[in-house]
Amino acid sequence: MKGLLSRFAALAVISLVALLAVGATAASANHGPGVGLRVGVDDLVTQAANQLGLTRTRVVNAIVSSALARINDAVADGDIDSDDAAAYRNRARNNLRFAYAVSRTRTVASNLGITTTRLNNAFRAARKTVLLARIDAALAAGQITADQAATLRQRVNQVSLPGYKYGLGYG
């Protein structure tokens, strides 16, 4: 039960950050101050590679390989036909966000020769690092107040952020 509550708390923080990002877009449209605090896959993978002491290329290759394996499994299971699979494979090779979404935690970890726990911990730490850096950048740019930054930092530091895959399930 505690794990489920931690996941809900993590989703709440991510939702808060997303809400600030949406608010920033609306404020920017009105020429007001704004801040974008989303964690993109590119930044997340780069920071996770740093956390793991690996090259970004190695982590990207592990993610793409996992996505390709999952697509191949879907073809073998009859879930997608081979014509569609070719398009999915191409997309996985050329779009990291897509490959990340399709990949599985266990196969990415296996491709890197590490445990799923180590992979999840690295991505959890990467999310935290990226979020805190975005908060600091928004403060430095005058997009948020010191009080807002302190509140956001506190929430990020208190919540248990998701590992490799976000949401309530594991990939």
Give 97-125 as a 3 state SS string.
HHHHHHCCHHHHHHHHCCCHHHHHHHHHH
Cα 32 vs. chain centroid, distance in angstroms? 28
Flag whether pLDDT at 167 surpasses 80: no
pLDDT surpasses 60 at 65: yes
Amino acid at 165: K
Give tens-digit pLDDT for 81-117: 988 999 999 999 999 999 999 999 999 999 999 999 9
Instruction: Report helix, strand or coil for 8.
Output: helix
Predicted pLDDT of residue 37: 54
Burial of 121 (0-12, 13-18, 19+ CB in 10 A): middle
